[in-house]
Amino acid sequence: MSHYKKNILPIILIIIYLSFFHVCLFADKQSGLEIRAVTFVKFINTEESIHGGMLSPTYLAVKSHYNNTDKKRIGELIVNDAGNKRILFFDYDGDCKKVISNIDIDPTGIALASSIKYIFGDKYDNALYSYHQVKEELKRIRLNIELFDPMGMDIDVAGNIYLADSGNDRVLKLMANGEILMNIRNYDQSGSYFDTPYDVAVNDGNDNIYIADYGNDRIGVFNSLGEEIKAMESIKNKKVSRPEGIAVDEQNLYLSNTGNNEVIIYDYINDKMVRVLRDFEEPIGIALSKIFNKHYRYLYVADRYKNRISVYMIKYSDK
């Protein structure tokens, strides 16, 4: 009996280890961001008597975190007020706290580079600028390549900038100092080229790159090396039409399907349509807040011709 116990003990330990490993692996696969509900919260705009009114907002970015001590959301929403050629800063209550209007640029895409620094695109000079919020300092980023109509952008966890260089029909990956790391121009499988890409988003979970290819009515998905994974001309039964804004998390794609005046929320892990949001007149930029309390975040959509930002709460299923 003693000999039997000695022989069986290692087997039992192996079974326990494998069972534990399987549970951890399975739990990791299931710990995604499955959306349980999407709820409209409010509109954000400016009071005409105070700020002259928001006019044709296009791109936006959001800075957010949760203060566990005060149990409050902290952060701000930054909006390109394109029709007025200015940048607006809103708090979480939707109150405009700051206006940058004394700058000689025509701002386009906006991305958060750090807690105090933003990157702006500029159609007027076909340039990129960094804005230091504390110093209130705007600096042009030196580039050894010419841009033409720079539009939407995103920044990865390493601080690299992904820019839709729309007029040049390409997407660039740049270091923070402007050094070019990658130039994506076409699809590997078909050989076709981008046509006026309007926006780009990076999945921090796997570094995949999602491109809103406006002129081709499709979404291009590429890996971190710039190699095509797939081209999406439809999402389930919805035709991609003139996409102008895109965002992504570890499980879901958020798309301004501008040609149809709608925003698509698509679960690409489970290949299912989550929601189609409507009541827009040319939705463009999309931004996501951080996840609060591990189960909800906010989605912001720039509704260009209704001159407002639409805000939605995204609630995730408990795992």
Q: What is the pLDDT of residue 64?
A: 78
Q: What is the pLDDT of residue 25?
A: 34
- For a pLDDT cut of 70, what percent of the chain falls above it? 85
Q: How confident is the model at residue 53 (pLDDT cuts 50, 70, 90)?
A: confident
Q: Is the pLDDT of residue 68 over 60?
A: no
Q: Is the pLDDT of residue 31 over 50?
A: no
Specify the range with the lowest mean pLDDT, choosing from 108-117, 165-174, 218-227, 305-314.
108-117
Q: How confident is the model at residue 92 (pLDDT cuts 50, 70, 90)?
A: confident
Give the whole-angstrom CA distance, residue 77 versus residue 95. 10
Residue range 289-313, pLDDT digits in tens: 988 877 899 999 999 999 999 999 9
Report, as an integer, the average pLDDT of 215-238: 96
Residue range 2-12, pLDDT digits in tens: 554 455 655 54
Q: Report pTM.
A: 0.87
Which residue would you say has higher pLDDT here, 193 or 74? Answer: 193
Q: Burial of 174 by CB count in 10 Å (0-12 exposed, 13-18 middle, 19+ buried)?
A: buried
Q: How confident is the model at residue 177 (pLDDT cuts 50, 70, 90)?
A: very high
**20-24, 43-47, 101-105, 177-181, range with greatest mean pLDDT:** 177-181
Nearest to 108, CA basis, from 83, 89, 133, 91: 83
Give the whole-angstrom CA distance, residue 111 versus residue 90. 15
Q: In Å, how far are 34, 72, 89, 102 from 84, measured between CA atoms? A: 38, 32, 14, 11
Q: How confident is the model at residue 90 (pLDDT cuts 50, 70, 90)?
A: very high
Q: Is the pLDDT of residue 267 over 60?
A: yes
The separation between CA 274 and the C-alpha centre of its own chain, rounded to angstroms, equals: 17
Q: How confident is the model at residue 69 (pLDDT cuts 50, 70, 90)?
A: low
Q: Is the pLDDT of residue 33 over 90?
A: no
Per the prediction, the chain carries an average pLDDT of 87
Q: What is the pLDDT of residue 178?
A: 94
Q: What is the pLDDT of residue 104?
A: 80
Structure token pair of residue 14: 């192996």
